[in-house]
Amino acid sequence: MGLFKNGVVYSEFSPAGILLRLERLRQKKGQKEVCYGICVVSYLSKIERGMVKPDENLVEQLFARLGIVYEREEAFLAESRNLLDSYIYNLTYGLKNEEVCQKLWQRENRLLWSPLALDTLLVLGMECVFRSAGVSSGKQIPEYVSVLEELKEHMNGRQFSYYCLILAELENEPQSGLVYRKRASEGLNNTLGLRSLIYGYCAADEYNEIHRLEQRFTALALEEGNVYALADYYFMNATAYACVNMEEMMTVYYERVRHLLQNTAWWEKTADDWNYNMGATYLDLGKYDLALKYLEQVQQEHFLLWHKKARLNLRLGNREAAEELMVKMEKQLAETPQPKEADRLMLKELKMEGEPGFLENPEYLAVLEELFAALRKERNFGFLYQYKEVAMEAFARQRKYKKALEFQKEISLKVQKGVC
């Protein structure tokens, strides 16, 4: 498979020394105590700083002094290399990784005290942030990151790129995440890295950057023979157009996704998001028949689907149906330990939309302003854009012309940025 062979699994650097130092410090033992009778203190110091590549027999003795078995069994390491390779291959090509991960979790304790420790930390760290896997040995992502941070200076280019993928997922601020995503994309120069960058641009509302990457991404996907990645790019590009209600371009790219993935297991996973996004866009465009058609095809119910259906029913005059959906939304918010503030305010705004004369109600504008602040922080621009018409109407009805102008300017700048 070879995705690791040019820089990750087959790295010249062994993390044994750094891991040895971390474990020695954890056990509160001095260098002299650990290396007595094995090597001199100065040589152990070089080992711990990654300045020398020690003999593995010596490494084994040092770990034994700490009560740890350093894994050197060739057959076990060869099988593990293949598993690590398979994980990246499957991640890149959209294939199932459950079986691979299960085997890696089972081997984790042995692998973390082996020449493959760094690569194991990278793969299990990626699995934690990408899949929120729940079958590990109990380690949390901060534990993996803290060790990886210690090893960072000794990573080669591709290892550091994979580490950047992890760090990007942990960033709360989209712009900060983009810094890591760009490094990962440049270092990997494949669709996996570029997909991460595209997700970052979407989170940062920089839709034009997604459009501009089409030629580069298509070339990489064709070079890899990666249908899954190509469909994923088309989906993100379509979503970028959907966020600014560009129906024609949205439809072109969503149809490409459907054509590429139809009759595959990938389509079964993608269809709900595809139908939801199409329905949400048609709702904003006032094409209620089409909105209903697509929203009704979403199989897995969730908060945002109920929100769109409730809003649609209000538009169609079906107040009772809308209220039933709002009850579901309210129940889910109550059952969620830390719900998004934006979701809470979306429900509050929706309830007010169902009241007569809500556009003339000053409290409605106050709720809108709270909602917009939360959406800017917690959701992408498409969520803000869906309120454009109702907000402008409310501003006009209440003669808030300055606020209307400011909001219109914000929307226009974002739209211009998204379609250039």
Residue at 181 is within a domain: no
According to DSSP, residue 358 is labeled G
CA atoms within 13 A on the CB side of 80: 30
Residue at 45 is within a domain: yes
Tell me how far apart the alpha carbons of residues 99 and 97 are, in angstroms, rounded to a whole number.
6
* pLDDT for position 4: 47
* pLDDT for position 5: 44
Domain that holds residue 126: 16-170
Which sign does the torsion angle of CA 138, 140, 145, 146 carry?
negative
Do 351 and 326 contact (CB within 8 A), yes or no? yes
Residue at 114 is within a domain: yes
Per-residue pLDDT of the chain (420 residues; tens, 9 = 90+): 344 444 344 445 678 888 899 899 989 999 999 999 999 999 999 999 888 888 889 999 999 999 999 999 999 999 999 999 999 999 999 999 999 999 999 999 999 999 999 999 999 999 988 875 333 444 578 888 888 998 898 899 999 999 999 999 999 899 999 999 999 999 999 999 999 999 999 999 999 999 999 999 999 999 999 999 999 999 999 999 999 999 999 999 999 999 999 999 999 999 999 999 999 999 999 999 999 999 999 999 999 999 999 999 999 999 999 999 999 999 999 999 999 999 999 999 999 999 999 999 999 999 999 999 999 999 999 999 999 999 999 999 999 999 999 999 999 988 876 654
Phi and psi angles of residue 167, each rounded to the nearest 5 degrees, phi first = -60, -35
Do 9 and 162 contact (CB within 8 A), yes or no? no
Tell me how far apart the alpha carbons of residues 403 and 420 are, in angstroms, rounded to a whole number.
26
Residue at 414 is within a domain: no
Nearest CA among 2, 195, 187 for reference residue 88: 2
Residue at 368 is within a domain: no
* pLDDT for position 415: 81
Residue at 20 is within a domain: yes
Task: Quote the number of domains for the chain.
Answer: 1
Tell me how far apart the alpha carbons of residues 335 and 332 are, in angstroms, rounded to a whole number.
5
Kindly give the residue spans of alpha helices, DSSP state H, lying in 13-140: 16-26, 31-35, 41-48, 56-65, 74-93, 98-111, 117-131
Write down the pTM of the prediction.
Answer: 0.88
Residue at 229 is within a domain: no
Residue at 128 is within a domain: yes
